[in-house]
A = this chain, B = another copy of it.
């Protein structure tokens, strides 16, 4: 056994706010409670049930991205933004999600549709200074989704990137699961001020190598960071956005700050998200 110069990290969980009053969670990870406890700006204000969490925006139906919703069931009312397909998977195929709507005026479900800009709001119908534009990225639903539901769902609604814009035109991109990069995506990313991008795996065969079996990164819907057609190479021309890798798997060698992979990422101007990190635009 050796030692590893790497930081322990919680699961991927971001929160974004225009003015610091109303916050939108990007996904709801299973360890959300601990993460909220560690984040003062998300603590209840005034009365104990006055949570600053106004909304949750979902980009897919992955367990690690949606389970935390069930932990918010005793909060004050909030909105959930999701595609029609993702909402059906959660509400129609998983009876537990009824706990989000067991009393009137609890959670309000709102629609995200690829290419369609939505002004985000809190549950009182007040806008909170952020617009979201979903970008269709992947067509694969999670493994747990039943065959019939899969057939009846819209593939373009399976996995999104989100571009969030505030009133002054500042743009943040959330792209935690990117199966491939094309020119249209490159152009969109180029206009961002801040980019959170899929850093799941460094090498395409990373899981196969470490576990002895399994799928490649690309088969799992993640373009790897390294290699000739990895994200580091393909996004090398992005000048404008500050660039942060998120959704980093614990097998990813770039987590080891003594590794060549870590140096390659940092030299290319990327950062790797850490627990508690904050970004202000």
Contact = CB atoms under 8 A, between A and B. Distances in A.
Interface string A12-37: 00000000000000000011011000
Contacts of A97: 144
Nearest to A149: B95
A156 to B, nearest CB: 21
A127 interface: no
A63 B99 contact: yes
Given A67-B70, A70-B67, A94-B94, A143 B99 contact: yes
Copies of this chain present? 2
A75 interface: no
A151 to B, nearest CB: 14
Nearest to A99: B144
Contact of A63 (B34, B96, B143, B145): B96
A95 B102 contact: no
Contact of A30 (B71, B93, B94, B149): B71
A99 B142 CA distance: 9
Nearest to A98: B144
A89 B149 CA distance: 19
Interface residues of A, number: 24
Contact of A144 (B71, B95, B142, B146): B95
B143 A98 contact: yes
Contacts of A73: 63
Interface in A84-103: 89, 93-99, 102
A95 B93 contact: yes
A63 B67 CA distance: 11
Contacts of A95: 89, 93-94, 144-146, 149
Interface in A50-102: 63, 67, 70-71, 73, 89, 93-99, 102
Q: Which 8 A-B pairs have the closest CB atoms?
A: A93-B95, A98-B144, A94-B94, A99-B144, A96-B144, A95-B144, A95-B146, A102-B143
30 contacts: A30-B30, A30-B33, A30-B70, A30-B71, A31-B33, A31-B34, A34-B34, A63-B70, A63-B73, A63-B96, A63-B99, A67-B67, A67-B70, A67-B96, A93-B94, A93-B95, A94-B94, A94-B95, A94-B96, A95-B144, A95-B145, A96-B144, A97-B144, A98-B143, A98-B144, A98-B146, A99-B142, A99-B143, A99-B144, A102-B144
